[in-house]
Structure 1
Amino acid sequence: MFYFTQSEASASNVNIKKGVKADFKIARLGSLRVIDENILSEIQNEFLEDNRIISSITFVKPTMTLLIYGLVLFPSIPATSNSKLCEILSIIFSVCLTPFKALEFFKFSLHHQPYFPLSHDALEKTLHILARMRYFDRAWELLREIAKTRPNLLTLKAMSIVLSKIAKYQSFEDTLEAFRRMEEDVFVGREFGTDEFNVLVKAFCSQRQMKEAKSVFRKMVSRFNPDIKTMNILLLGFKESGDVTSVELFYHEMVRRGFSPNSVTYNIRIDAYCKKNCFGDGLRLLDEMEGRNFAPTIETITTLIHGAGLVRNLGKAWQLFNEIPLRNLVADTGAYNALISSLVRSRDIESALSVMEKMIENQIEPDGVTYHTLFSGLIRTRGIEGVNELYQKMIERNFVPKTRTVVMLMKYFCQNSRLDLGLSLWNYLVEKGYCPHAHALDLLVTGLCSRGMAQEAFECSKQMLLRGRHMSGAAFLMLERFLLKARDTDKLKELEEMTKKLKSVLPPAIEHTTGISFSSVIN
């Protein structure tokens, strides 16, 4: 049996998907209610086919509705519950539901041990959801609670997630203060050393804040003993900032400090040169790497294939790719993507599509990079028909593209007067349980309204608001203008109410519409 407090176990007859209803057998037992385990198993099986139900649970519904729908209704086997908890948090993260749902869901699991065992993965996902939306106060509250109740869940990755986002959105001093709070308030009793120092350095390097990273390194190097990982983190930061000269200067500095480069060091340097179109220097470093008895990894070869593509050296790209099995390596998605990118850059889109088919034949699934690269090439070479052909294949494979690909496709469809494809993409994402990015809605609303399809624009906007995502001010004003023109003030009132309700529970992290300015017109 699973136990919920009376206030938490709400109504019976909760709608599950496809009209199925589960008549909860709720029996009162003191201050608790008991839900029959067989019923829970039945609900679970109904729910876990896909993530559409998760995304359909709107921000206005209480967390227990989220839970009753099946999010925590798993068999009482610790390993299974652990994995399912992480699975659901991953879905909440990917479909961009309000972060408070993830927090409430995690806390419910935390407060109902041992029925819903927690893992460090679940904590990390919850912190990521909160931090990416800049709800740092909630993240700190959660960390303090975990420090008191479940300190075994605290990991360096959890620290890294929070510090990296603070470095991104707040000041240098705020990040140092956050590191101090981690040491004194969260990881209580733990002696901070090189590993924790590396997390702090990485927080700045991951945001390409190399001035701050160097400042922290010089300020704290006397307290913490840096290792080769510290050096590689800094080297990677210089590489990501696009300054190959700084990469080489720091490389020589680390050698002077007595650190011996490893294969990771060489991979970073090779990537730095390749991205600056210095492919010959990349090959030189490959020879130097092998001369020091460091075996190239698949990442090394992938980097060089990509570098060959940047300088339009297709012959070398193919040679490096074909040499992969000769080096006792196995081509992965990254290697195929590098070759596809090289072919697309040379406008050999036919060969690029053939390579993707070869991937699939070898049971290597195309990922977001594969599709984005191919769509970019098709837009330049084959136009709307070529893009539509790959788009239909992508849908047939049930693949959900990343945000940047969604925005690129939505823009292309709308610019080419294919609003049918724009709506198709929107509906496909919603059907799959994903809430499209606000910029995708901006493009679609603009395209629909400009062609007299304000009703469709309203429905898409409503779907986004129901999923806890704010509309942009531009999209709202566009839709407002066309609905007013159609004298459809009822829909405007509905949007206003939904926007205000969302703002009351989820203040926008960036500038969004704050309400409707047409009230005087209505009244």
Structure 2
Amino acid sequence: MLSRIAKFQTFEDTLEAFERMEKNIFVGRKFGTDEFNVLLTAFCTQRQMKEARSVFNRMHPRFSPNTKTMNILLLGFKESGCFSDGLRLLTEMEGVNCLPTIETITTLIHGAGVARDIAKARELFEEFPMRNLRPDTGAYNALLSSLVRCRDMESATGLMDEMEEKGIEHDNITYHTMFFGLMKSKNLDSVSELFDKMTKENFVPKTRTVVMLMKFFCANYQPDLGLNLWGYLLERGRCQHGHALDLLATSLCSHGKVQEAFECSKQMLERGRHVSEAVFRMLERFLLQAGDTEKLRTLDVMIKRLQNILPPSRGHATGILYPTKMD
């Protein structure tokens, strides 16, 4: 509620609402640091860091700030691109013996990356042992993201290898960040190598990463790689987002691989997912041109059978509109 007030009303209105909550709503309950953190979060969520800082300066004598307080403010500074303010806050908080956590330093590393200050990002990362902290996947991902932002893909690749050597798990953010960086550098071979590495690790990426990969493979005239990705995911029980099929089917058909596009669409329908109207019309055109009406009928039957169970939404295929076309 405070976040909504902070978004649509003034700074003073938000503070008044906070005071009213304490006096009139939570009667008999003395607000402490947890409630203070909620108030700070309201401003930080809206990226109103000047107001958040003002609240902190005005009210922290009443509420003892803790590590969570610091992390809330640091995240706000990071999201607002105020990296130097985040560093100053770290110094202030350490001065009152409020020790940073892995989350604290990870947020600052992210902030350094946003500010394109890779030297500071490395310095913060190297301070983990001195703070008796052991970097986790999130911390490595923060430095990885910073390196990718600065287009230092060689160091990013080395860091990913270091994670493996030290037994630090690669997660979807790790792979997504690396794929994104390699795609930006237009290095198809490196993207393919990382894809092979991912499959050997038996890692299943999330939809956002899948669509990004599919788009890259298809845009670079590599429908076979897109087909490999599709098959890899199906083998692991993943039925992909319709946009991934749109990209793959379009690329396959443009390369004369209509049979493969048909099979992918059929697999989508078999798993209870609608195909798009655009994909069906494209297949309809190519299959009619090839005189392969049997496959078109197969898709039509599957689409209409699925409609009886799961009504289509806007943009989903509804089947053959003019059956006489097939006569």
For the aligned pair, the TM-score class normalised by the smaller chain equals: 0.7 to 0.9
Q: Does 1:370 align with 2:174?
A: yes
Residues 324-373 of structure 1: per-residue CA shift (max 9 Å, x gap): 01111110000000111111111111111111111111111111111111
Deviation at 1:480, TM superposition (A): 2.4
- The equivalences for 1:405-484 within 5 A come to 405-484=209-288
Offset from partner CA, 1:412-434 (integer Å, 9 cap, x none):
10011111100000000001111
SS in 2 for 1:492: helix
Of 209, 232, 239, the residue aligned with 2:44 is 239
- Tell me how far apart the structure 1 counterparts of residues 313 and 66 of structure 2 sit (CA, whole Å): 42
Distance 2:217 2:98 in 1: 48
Pair 1:439–1:241, CA change in 2 (3 A):
farther
Change (3 A) 1:250 1:406: farther
Q: Flag the 1:311–1:484 CA change in 2: closer, same or farther, 3 A.
A: same
Shift of 1:251: 5.0
**Distance in structure 2 (CA, Å) of the matches to 1:492 and 1:418:** 26
- TM-score, normalization by structure 2: 0.86
Q: Distance in 1 between matches of 2:229 and 2:197?
A: 13
Instruction: Measure how far apart 1:378 and its partner are.
Output: 0.9
Q: Structure 1 pair 444/252, CA: closer, same or farther in 2 (3 Å)? A: farther
Kindly state the Cα deviation for residue 270 of structure 1 after the two structures are TM-superposed.
1.0
Instruction: Give 1:223's aligned amino acid.
Output: I
From the superposition, tell whether residues 247 and 421 of structure 1 become closer, same or farther in structure 2 (CA, over 3 Å). farther
Give me the whole-angstrom Cα distance separating, in 2, the residues matched to 1:244 and 1:289. Answer: 17
- Residue 276 of structure 1 pairs with residue 88 of structure 2: no
Which residue does the alignment assign to 1:318? 122
- What residue number does 1:309 align with? 113
The question of 1:393 aligning with 2:202 is answered no
Aligned partner of 1:506 among 310, 313, 325 = 310
| Residue in structure 1 matched with residue 135 of structure 2 by the alignment | 331
Could you state the TM-score of these two structures normalised by the residue count of structure 1? 0.55
Q: Which amino acid aligns with 1:300?
A: T
Q: 1:478 to 1:230 in 2, by over 3 A?
A: farther
CA shift at 1:471, angstroms? 1.6
**Residue 508 of structure 1: CA displacement?**
4.4
Q: How far apart are the structure 1 equivalents of 2:312 and 2:35?
A: 36
Q: Partner of 1:223 in structure 2? A: 25
Percent of residue pairs identical: 52
RMSD: 3.0
Letter in 1 for 2:240: P
Q: In structure 2, what residue type is equivalent to 1:387? A: V
Query: Alpha-carbon deviations, 1:303-339, whole Å to 9, x = none?
Result: 1111111122121111111110111111000000011
C-alpha separation in 2, matches of 1:427 and 1:497: 24
Q: Post-superposition shift, 1:231?
A: 5.0
Q: Tell me: CA distance 1:308–1:482, structure 2 relative to 1, closer, same or farther (3 Å).
A: same
Q: Note the C-alpha offset of 1:509.
A: 6.0
Q: Which runs of 4+ in 1 moved over 6 A?
A: none
Distance 2:248 2:117 in 1: 39
Equivalent residues in 2 for 1:195-206, closer than 5 Å: 201=1
Structure 1 position 277, deviation (Å): 2.5
Letter in 1 for 2:90: L
1:276 shift after superposition: 2.7
Q: Is this contact kept in 1: 2:6–2:43, CA < 8 A? A: no
CA–CA separation in structure 1 for the residues paired with 2:305 and 2:279:
18
Amino acid in structure 1 at the alignment position of 2:25: R
| Cα gap change, 1:249 to 1:436, in 2 (>3 Å) | farther
Deviation at 1:522, TM superposition (A): 2.9
1:262–1:418 CA distance, 2 compared to 1 (3 A): same
Q: Which stretch shifts more, 421-430 or 306-315?
A: 306-315
Query: Cα 1:360–1:237, aligned 2, differ >3 Å: closer, same or farther?
Result: farther
- Length, aligned pairs only: 317
Letter in 2 for 1:322: E
Distance 2:326 2:62 in 1: 74
Give the SS at the match of 1:494: helix
- Contact preservation (8 Å) 2:33, 2:65: yes
Q: Using the alignment, how far apart are the partners of 1:488 and 1:246 within structure 2? A: 66
Q: Give secondary structure in 1 for the equivalent of 2:25.
A: coil
Q: What does 1:336-347 align with in structure 2 at a 5 Å threshold?
A: 336-347=140-151
Deviations 1:283-310 (A, max 9, x none): 0111122123211010010011111111
Q: Is 1:379 the equivalent of 2:191?
A: no
- The 1:481–1:295 alpha-carbon spacing in structure 2 relative to 1, beyond 3 Å, is same
Unaligned runs of 5+ in 1: 1-200
Q: Distance in 2 between matches of 1:289 and 1:371?
A: 34
Aligned-pair CA distance for 1:400: 0.9
